[in-house]
Structures are given as structure tokens and as C-alpha cells.
């Protein structure tokens, strides 16, 4: 893990960019921290530069609650080399949505390669992050790509809680994985999300195997999550990451 920049934000948060095996990422740590902190991995739909303002907002909110946060670029997005098959699938998906054709097979072609590549990258990042003195654990995962978060919650025992956003495609073939998740979940659903099948999201929530899982549905479209819903999601992580012994 090579740190390439360090910046002190006005609220004392220290933001450091890094690369790890050519994958760019960002780590945010509250400036006032002394003990190793719990960590929240911030998932996103790809494109660190474009997503930066929203990621930094989430990082700052988490820092106020005593969490370190980190994110890495999604395979094939941002400054990373494009993945030809994924690009093709993305184009096919747009086309299918425009013409109203079924998308199941296209979603498989789009999502599975991302999951297969992204999850080991998140795990490598986790190894490196947990070796830093300022990062301890426990670890949460928050955000998209939903299918990446699902796989990570299944295969990575260091993930102690996950906050998902029911706003991206999950292949039908991953519902069995969803059933194997056991960590506490907090799932946000935008009730009128134009790019998301509500029934599919409800079925997925039903499938999650976790004994503690909360669905919070609010009005509005994909990007209209109300501030109080973000606050509730943050409190979910406080409940599950702040009161436990360090696991890493």
C-alpha cells in the first residue's frame, strides 16, 4: 500500500490517497484519533473522481462518529483500464432498458465479472488497512455495488455489519449467497427508484439470512435518500461497530 498524498480537511479529518497493486483508493481518519479505530469500507458504483464529493461527505460523517473509512476504485472504472466485456454488458443493459427487453442475462454479464474481481481487491485492501496503526476494527461495509457487498459479506469474516443500498442489480443467481449472510444488515430502499425494481429489492431483503436486518424505505428516486435516512444508517454502524471488541 503506497500512500501518494495526504490532506487535512477543515474538520480535522486526514485524507490519504493510496494505490495497492495499481488499484487507487482513499483512506479517511479522524484527526483526533489515538486508539485504533473501527473501519467502514465505502462501496460506490465506480468512478472515484465523480463520486468523490459524496464519498467525502460519508467519510466525514463517519469520522464524527469515530470511524476510519476507506474506499477503492471499482475494476474497469475511473482511471483503471476498461473491462471490454463489462463495457459491452453496460451498453447492452442501457439498450435493453430503453427497449424494455429482459435484462437478466445481461445483468449476469455485467455484475459477475465485477464481483469476481472487486471482492479480492477489497480483501487485499482490508489486509493492508488493518495493518495500519490507526485502523483496528471491527469492519463494516457500506454502499454499492450491492452484489459486491453481498459477496464480500459472505466470504470475508472480518465484515461485522453491512449497510446496503437497494439500488443496483443483483443477479438472480446470487440470492443463494444472500441467504448465507449472517451479519446484521441495514438496507436502504428508495421507494420510487426509477432504475430499480422494487419487488426485486423486497425479495432480496427477504432472502438475506441475517437474524437482524432492517429495511428502511423512503420516498423519492435513486439519489434522493433523505438526510435522516443517512443518519439512521450511521447509527446502525455505531450500534454494531462501536461497542464490540476489536476483531482484527
Contact with a copy of itself (CB under 8 A): which of 217, 230, 242, 248? 217
46 DSSP 8-state letter: S
Task: Report the residue number, 159 or 185, with the smaller CB distance to a copy of itself.
Answer: 185
- Cβ(141)–Cβ(152) below 8 Å: yes
Q: Alpha-carbon distance 115 to 83, whole Å? A: 13
Contact with a copy of itself (CB under 8 A): which of 50, 235, 244, 246? 235
The answer to whether 214 contacts a copy of itself (rule: CB under 8 A) is yes
CB of 178: closest distance to a copy of itself in angstroms? 15
CB of 185: closest distance to a copy of itself in angstroms? 10
The CB-side HSE value for 13 (13 A sphere, CA atoms) comes to: 23
- In the shown chain, the binding pattern of residues 135 to 174 toward a copy of itself, with x for contact by CB under 8 A and - for none, equals ----------------------------------------
Task: Report the residue number, 75 or 138, with the smaller CB distance to a copy of itself.
Answer: 138
In the three-class reduction of DSSP (H, G, I as helix; E, B as strand; rest coil), residue 26 is classed as: strand
Q: Which of 223, 149, 221, 159 is nearest to 187 (CA)?
A: 149
The answer to whether 203 contacts a copy of itself (rule: CB under 8 A) is no
Task: Report the residue number, 9 or 217, with the smaller CB distance to a copy of itself.
Answer: 217
Per-residue b or e along 184-194, where b marks 16 or more CB atoms closer than 10 Å to that residue's CB: bbbbbbbeebe
Task: Report the residue number, 65 or 215, with the smaller CB distance to a copy of itself.
Answer: 215
Contact with a copy of itself (CB under 8 A): which of 11, 85, 105, 206? 206
Q: Alpha-carbon distance 39 to 132, whole Å? A: 11
Instruction: Please return the burial class of 195, using the count of CB atoms within 10 Å of its CB with bins 0-12, 13-18 and 19+.
Output: exposed
Total binding residues toward a copy of itself, as defined by CB under 8 A? 21
The answer to whether 207 contacts a copy of itself (rule: CB under 8 A) is no
Locus of grid cell 451479519 = 183
Residues within window 174-193 making contact with a copy of itself, judged by CB under 8 A: 191
Could you count the other beta carbons within 10 Å of the beta carbon of residue 50?
13
Give the interface with a copy of itself as residue ranges (CB under 8 A): 191, 202, 205-206, 210-219, 226, 228-229, 232, 235-236, 239
Amino acid at each position: 500500500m503506497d500512500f501518494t498524498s495526504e490532506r487535512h480537511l477543515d474538520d480535522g479529518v486526514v485524507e490519504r490517497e493510496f494505490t495497492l497493486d495499481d488499484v487507487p483508493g482513499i483512506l479517511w481518519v479522524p484527526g483526533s484519533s489515538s486508539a485504533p479505530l473501527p473501519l467502514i469500507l465505502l462501496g460506490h458504483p465506480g468512478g472515484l473522481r465523480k463520486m468523490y464529493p459524496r464519498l467525502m461527505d460519508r467519510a466525514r460523517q463517519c469520522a464524527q462518529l469515530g470511524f476510519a473509512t476507506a474506499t477503492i476504485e471499482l475494476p474497469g472504472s475511473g482511471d483503471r483500464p476498461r473491462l471490454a466485456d463489462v463495457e459491452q454488458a453496460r451498453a447492452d443493459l442501457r439498450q435493453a432498458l430503453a427497449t424494455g427487453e429482459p435484462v437478466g442475462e445481461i445483468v449476469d454479464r455485467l455484475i459477475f465479472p465485477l464481483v469476481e474481481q472487486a471482492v479480492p481487491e477489497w480483501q487485499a485492501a482490508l489486509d493492508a488497512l488493518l495493518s495500519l496503526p490507526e485502523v483496528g476494527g471491527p469492519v463494516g461495509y457500506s454502499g454499492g455495488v450491492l452484489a459486491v457487498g453481498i459477496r464480500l459479506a459472505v466470504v470475508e469474516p472480518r465484515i461485522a455489519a453491512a449497510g446496503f443500498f437497494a439500488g443496483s442489480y443483483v443477479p438472480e443467481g446470487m440470492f443463494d449467497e444472500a441467504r448465507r449472510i449472517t451479519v446484521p444488515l441495514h438496507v436502504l430502499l428508495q421507494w420510487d427508484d426509477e432504475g430499480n425494481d422494487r419487488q426485486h429489492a423486497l425479495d432480496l431483503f427477504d432472502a438475506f439470512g441475517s437474524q437482524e436486518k432492517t429495511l428502511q424505505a423512503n420516498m423519492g428516486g435513486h439519489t434522493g435518500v433523505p438526510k435522516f435516512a443517512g443518519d439512521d444508517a450511521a447509527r446502525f454502524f455505531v450500534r454494531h461497530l462501536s461497542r464490540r471488541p476489536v476483531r482484527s
